[in-house]
Chain A
Amino acid sequence: MNKQEDKKNLIIQTALAMFLKEGYDRVSVMDICKTCGITKPTFYKYVTSKEQLLRYYFRGTVEDLSACIRAMDPTNYWEIVCTGLTFTMQKSVRLGPGLYSRYWILNFNEKSEAPPYMSEARTMTIEAIQKGQKAGQIKNPSDPALLYLTCRNVGLGYALKWCMSNGAFDLIDRCRADFAAILQVDDHQQRGCNG
């Protein structure tokens, strides 16, 4: 940890805490600077824009997910698949609907060159779908990569609805129940799930 990194982290952590407490729109770059005790030029030395601060919240998520999957029971394919599909979402829900909406707007405004959902965790989740099919835990026989993309987009649809409805339902529960119906996972497989 060097001094530069320390300062950058201070700005990011302070800003995210302020967004969560006061709402993204009500916090200006100047407010963040004041709280951190820095000037605007210093702020922009470390961070390109206010929007980019939201991106930092998700830094390391994909790596965390890979580590999380590696630590799981390797034969409980349904649980691995569910984790693979909802991990980022669980982190997002903690932002609350207002801030999570902001994050989506950011994504909509910056059209991505590469398809989303590309990561080591994606590969691991698809593998778990395939193994789950062979083991009979997952009875939907469709192509595992297609099932992965489809479930991700069902989840994306619910996430957007969750944001637009100001968090009117339990996003993770809803997604787990739908993924179980889509993948055709028996009730007794869905440990801890509201099916």
Chain B
Amino acid sequence: MQRNNVKQRIIDTSFDLFREKGYKSVSVMDICNACGITKPTFYKYIDSKDSLLKYFSSTLTAQIPEEWFHIGSSTDHLQQIIDVFDLYYFHTEELGIDLYTEVFAANLKEYQGAFNDVFRFNAWIEDLIRLGQESGQIKNPSDPHRLMSSLIALSFGNGAYRCMYADPDQSMNNLFQSGLKAILCAEPEEVR
């Protein structure tokens, strides 16, 4: 428990510092100072500064509230899908494009698991697509598993596109949402 606390504190503090000062200008020493620990302590828990980036996605998935995984009484399944990805993009925009770019670059150099599939998340998206197809809201009748896989790929690809080309006119989330609606051939209920 104690171990986990120190590790989690290092991760949280470093992401705060990255967001504040930019990934490149934060040194391991800065992180140590902010945590009140020594370098050897840092390296006891974390392999390298780059390896901190693998927690980019897990800090996010840990934030998904439990109740999100319940369909509840809502019939607007498209909106539910949009909401989940909203959370992903909110988190990403908050941490900044520069840091997101570093996550891609670090994971391409040596894969650290930042983009691992979260099976529960994927299964849930798939369920929502199936329900949306059954109710007629989602008009693309293709295999829900494949459509889910396309949406997950789109969320990475779209993020990468924004890292390589910063279009000031469109937020990452707007770009993703228009793609999502085009794939599923669906509109949220309020628009219909």
A interface list, Cβ under 8 A from B: 101-102, 104-105, 107-109, 111-112, 114-116, 140-143, 146-147, 149-150, 152-161, 163-166, 177-178, 180-182, 184
Contacts and interface: CB of A to CB of B under 8 A. Distances in A.
Q: When A and B form their complex, which 4 residue pairs have the shortest distance between CB atoms, in order from nearest?
A: A157-B157, A157-B153, A156-B157, A153-B157
Counting chain B CB atoms within 10 Å of each CB, the highest count among A101, A115, A143, A178 belongs to A178
B178 A101 contact: no
Contacts of B149: 178
A161 B115 contact: yes
B175 to A, nearest CB: 8
Contacts of A147: 182
Contacts of B185: 140-142
A82 to B, nearest CB: 15
Given A177-B146, A182-B150, A160 B104 contact: yes
Interface in B144-181: 146-147, 149-150, 152-158, 160-161, 163-167, 178-179, 181
B191 interface: no
Contacts of A150: 154, 178-179, 182-183
A111 B140 contact: no
A108 B101 contact: yes
Nearest to B100: A108
A155 to B, nearest CB: 7
Contact of A164 (B115, B163, B183): B115
A141 B107 CA distance: 36
Contacts of A156: 156-158, 160-161
A52 to B, nearest CB: 17
Contacts of A164: 107-108, 111, 115
Q: Is the interface of A mostly helix, strand, loop or mixed?
A: helix
B142 interface: yes
A107 B164 contact: yes
A104 B155 CA distance: 17
Interface string B101-138: 10011011101000100000000000000000000000
B165 A116 contact: yes
A108 B154 contact: no
Contact of A112 (B109, B143, B164): B164
Given A111-B165, A178-B150, 16 more contacts: A101-B109, A112-B165, A114-B165, A116-B165, A140-B183, A142-B181, A146-B182, A150-B183, A153-B154, A154-B150, A154-B154, A154-B157, A157-B155, A157-B157, A166-B111, A178-B146
A142 B182 contact: yes
B141 interface: yes
Given A140-B185, A156-B160, A108 B105 contact: yes
A146 B178 contact: yes
Given A143-B182, A182-B183, A184-B141, A157 B158 contact: yes
Contacts of A146: 178-179, 182
5 contacts: A105-B109, A108-B104, A142-B182, A153-B179, A156-B156
